Amino acid sequence: METMKVGLLAEPGRFIVEERPLPEVGPEEVRIRVAACGICGTDLHAFAGHKPRGWKIVFPFQMGHELSGVVDAVGEKVPAHAGLRVGDRVVPDGRLPCYYCRYCRRGEYNHCQNMGYISGGFAQYMVYPYRNIVKMPQGVTLEEAAFAEPLACVVNGHRQLSRPEFGGFGLVIGAGPIGLLHLQMLKAQGLRVAVSDTQPHRLEAARELGADYIINAAQVNVAEEVSRLTEGFLADVVVSAAGGDERIIDQAISLAGRRGQVLYFGAVMKEPITVNLDLIHYREIRLVGSHDSTTANYESALRLIAGGQVRVAPLITHRFPLERIQEAFEFAATRQGIKVMVYNEGGQ
């Protein structure tokens, strides 16, 4: 019997690597040899012992949703029009919408009322329905393609915004991997963009990726700096890309100018949250939320990477083989890097 290695969260704070049988391929499924899988902020919440919203955690728990790989086997009933063959370089979407509920019938698959998930990129092989597979365009590496999932979520977020005025001012709060993707999306829309964070190495990455201004929130007053940079008008678009702290979204609202927009992207994951609603009222601020993504957003994300509008390679600061997944998560939890990637030997 053929086997593979799988990284499993045995309990909060502790991974194990096990040998498990190679997954069989169903008639309408595709098996992928995983090349790379990024560690997401939500993964780190689970590693720390928290339960991210919507997650059902039963130990030992298999994680990993930011992945790419190579098709290893194709089910006998996968239709020819899917165009999937052994050797194709692909990205899988782990969401399993029902295609039947009210929202699926509208094409709003990220709001499916009966959503299921396949999460298991920290393994050598994974199996997905063929409908969930997106082929990679030319010119994108497998490591870069592992950003399709987070960038797809960012794409979905920007679809919620009204088109900002060219030459307007954008502010991204948080220079982690997600914030750095938002930065590039705002730049692509013709905005001057400032990025705030407390970590100098992340702010330097923002500068290299095109930020017009960087604001070290540990050294200066962010509100005063944004007011200075905008001659008192504040930001046309604010992206709240730092989750876990309810003060961030209140700060984002306070830094939006009249008729500005605030994208609440980095979830606080706490209830209740207190915000200044009077600012929304008197400034006519548009506060919008964003949840998850669709397979179509994956396709857009890969095109943005292929076309160079969004650069993701500079975000990958550290790489660990699957066998060292414990070390990878411990390092990622320090926030000393930007994107930590777990890879499989021979997966490239």
Same domain, 148 and 32: yes
Contact (CB, 8 A) for 195 and 216: no
Which residues are 20's β-sheet partners? 4
**CA separation, residue 327 to residues 15, 120, 225 (Å):** 9, 18, 38
Same domain, 24 and 144: yes
Of the chain, the percentage scoring pLDDT greater than 70 comes to 99
pLDDT band at 346 (very low <50, low <70, confident <90, very high): low
Same domain, 128 and 188: no
Question: How far is 68 from 93, CA to CA, in rounded Å?
Answer: 10
Domain boundary among 270, 289, 308: 289
- Give the Cβ contact number of residue 52 at 10 Å: 15
Same domain, 49 and 166: no
Range of the domain at 72: 3-152+293-343
Same domain, 120 and 41: yes
Q: Helices then strands (H, E): number in the chain?
A: 11, 17
Same domain, 25 and 67: yes
- The model's pTM is 0.96
Same domain, 142 and 169: no
Same domain, 122 and 51: yes
CATH number at residue 267: 3.40.50.720
Residue 306 domain-assigned (yes or no):
yes
Same domain, 314 and 227: no
Task: Give 20's contacts (C-beta < 8 A, 6+ positions apart).
Answer: 3, 4, 5, 6, 123
Same domain, 273 and 302: no
Considering only the C-alpha atoms of the chain, give the largest distance between any 2 of them, rounded to a whole number of Å.
68
Residue 348 domain-assigned (yes or no):
no
How do residues 73-94 score in pLDDT, each as one tens digit?
A: 999 999 999 999 999 999 999 9
Residue 337 domain-assigned (yes or no):
yes
How do residues 112-140 score in pLDDT, each as one tens digit?
A: 999 999 988 999 999 999 999 999 999 99
| Residues recognised as catalytic | 42, 45
- Total of domains in the chain: 2
Same domain, 72 and 48: yes
How do residues 221-240 score in pLDDT, each as one tens digit?
A: 999 999 999 999 999 999 99
Query: Which stretches does DSSP call E strand in 250-326?
Result: 256-264, 286-289, 316-321
CATH number at residue 140: 3.90.180.10
Residue 216 domain-assigned (yes or no):
yes
The yes-or-no verdict on residue 10 having pLDDT over 70 is: yes
